[in-house]
């Protein structure tokens, strides 16, 4: 079977499974009591079923099992098969802990231990880890020792897993952002000819799109922690392994792919430190909360954040396509500066850290006024 037809078939199979299984998962969630009740932090006003991530997981896992007989011999090498096994095993561990959390609301410590355990299975059980590192203005990626690569890999997997969980606050938000990030990875994997990443991406993308049919506002089911943690884990794995052996790709690319959840997590940590609150304490200061406070509707807020995620994805694709040039390091540096500047301006405008503090905007205003005064005095 031609590769292009195989990938298309994988997407369609996963999409159909998600469309069929999500309504069944909804009934199951109500039956076992995996429900989300309204409170002062929630934007929904009625009891909603959680555990929708099971629909995405089943579309992904069952879709792969159905697709397996159609995969031509030799299309996947040993490393590719090992990566797929690692994602399936680690993802199963994550979906189980997420499903239990959707039903019993586990403590943050229990979930963190489970996430670390899944990351350790990936690293020690399957040998999947970050083993190459590139720094700005470095000539090539350099091998790193295991005592450095192992903790970096575990930290990356756990951090990205939780980053998706933090933005799961509006109908379709986490699913859409994840779909855009996975779509970005898919585009670059196709350009690079990375077969295992393409297969995993099309299966995940089909499952998410099918689930979003029931999850976009007004949602009929929430993905819950089962969905957000599973998608976060998959994004961590794909963004980490897609580029680790492509020596021409800068370390910036994976960060750009998941720029929205990572930046929201970063600002959440800064906000809580500034306000002297525990880092893991929930609040209503996330990006989607701030946009809604500015008067944007539920749907418009989600679409705005999807657009921001798409911009990050575009930067990632641009970054990966120009790194072969002699000026690659300078392009990387410019991209980093533009992203940091835009994030800071945006954060100050919407008040994601502190609504009364706007240091960069105030500095730019002072610079502008000084120039205007200088011209008027001539």
Does residue 220 form part of some domain? yes
Go through the chain and tell me how many residues it has: 378
More confident residue, 318 or 179: 179
Range of the domain at 36: 27-377
The answer for 151, left when phi > 0, alpha when psi is -120 to 50, beta otherwise, is: alpha
CB 193 within 8 A of CB 323: no
CB 253 within 8 A of CB 316: yes
The pLDDT of residue 10 is 95
The pLDDT of residue 39 is 61
Confidence check: pLDDT of 202 > 60: yes
CB 222 within 8 A of CB 174: no
Does residue 326 form part of some domain? yes
Does residue 13 form part of some domain? no
Structure tokens at 45: 């006003």
Residue 12 backbone phi and psi in degrees, to 5: -65, -45
More confident residue, 208 or 275: 208
The pLDDT of residue 78 is 83
The pLDDT of residue 246 is 41
What residues contact residue 74 under an 8 Å CB cut-off, 6+ apart?
Answer: none
Does residue 18 form part of some domain? no
pLDDT in tens, 94-107: 999 999 999 998 98
Number of separate domains in the chain:
1
The pLDDT of residue 19 is 97
The CA distance from 262 to 160, in Å, is 7
Closest CA to 229 of 110, 107, 120, 93: 93
What residues contact residue 101 under an 8 Å CB cut-off, 6+ apart?
Answer: 111, 224, 225, 226, 229
């Amino acid at each position: 079977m031609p590769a292009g037809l195989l990938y298309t078939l994988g997407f369609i199979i996963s999409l159909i499974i998600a469309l069929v299984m999500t309504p069944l998962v909804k009934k199951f969630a109500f039956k076992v009591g995996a429900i989300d009740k309204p409170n002062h932090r929630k934007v929904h006003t009625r009891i909603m079923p959680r555990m929708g991530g099971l629909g995405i997981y089943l579309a992904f896992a069952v879709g792969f099992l159905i697709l397996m007989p159609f995969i031509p011999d030799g299309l996947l090498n040993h490393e590719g098969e090992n990566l797929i096994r690692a994602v399936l095993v680690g993802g199963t561990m994550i979906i189980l802990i997420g499903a239990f959390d959707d039903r019993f609301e586990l403590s943050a410590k229990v979930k963190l231990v489970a996430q670390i355990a899944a990351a350790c299975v990936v690293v020690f059980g399957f040998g999947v880890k970050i083993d190459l590192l590139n720094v700005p203005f470095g000539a090539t990626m350099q091998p790193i020792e295991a005592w450095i690569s192992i903790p970096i890999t575990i930290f990356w997997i756990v951090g990205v897993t939780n980053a998706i969980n933090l933005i799961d606050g509006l109908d379709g938000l986490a699913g859409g952002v994840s779909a855009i990030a996975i779509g970005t990875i898919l585009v670059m994997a196709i350009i690079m000819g990375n077969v295992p990443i393409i297969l995993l991406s099309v299966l995940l993308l089909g499952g998410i799109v099918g689930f979003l049919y029931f999850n976009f506002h007004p949602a009929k089911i929430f993905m819950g922690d089962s969905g957000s943690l599973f998608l976060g884990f998959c994004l961590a794995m794909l963004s980490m392994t897609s580029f680790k052996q492509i020596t021409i790709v800068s370390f910036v690319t994976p960060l750009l792919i998941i720029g929205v959840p990572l930046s929201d997590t970063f600002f959440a940590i800064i906000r809580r430190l500034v306000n002297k609150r525990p880092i893991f304490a929930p609040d209503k200061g996330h990006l989607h909360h701030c946009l809604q406070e500015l008067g944007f509707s539920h749907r418009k807020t989600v679409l705005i954040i999807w657009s921001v995620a798409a911009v990050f994805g575009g930067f990632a694709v641009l970054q990966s396509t120009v790194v072969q040039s002699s000026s690659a390091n300078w392009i990387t540096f410019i991209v980093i500066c533009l992203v940091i500047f835009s994030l800071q301006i945006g954060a100050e405008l919407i008040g994601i850290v502190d609504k009364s503090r706007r240091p960069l905007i105030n500095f730019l205003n002072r610079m502008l006024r000084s120039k205007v005064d200088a011209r008027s005095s001539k």
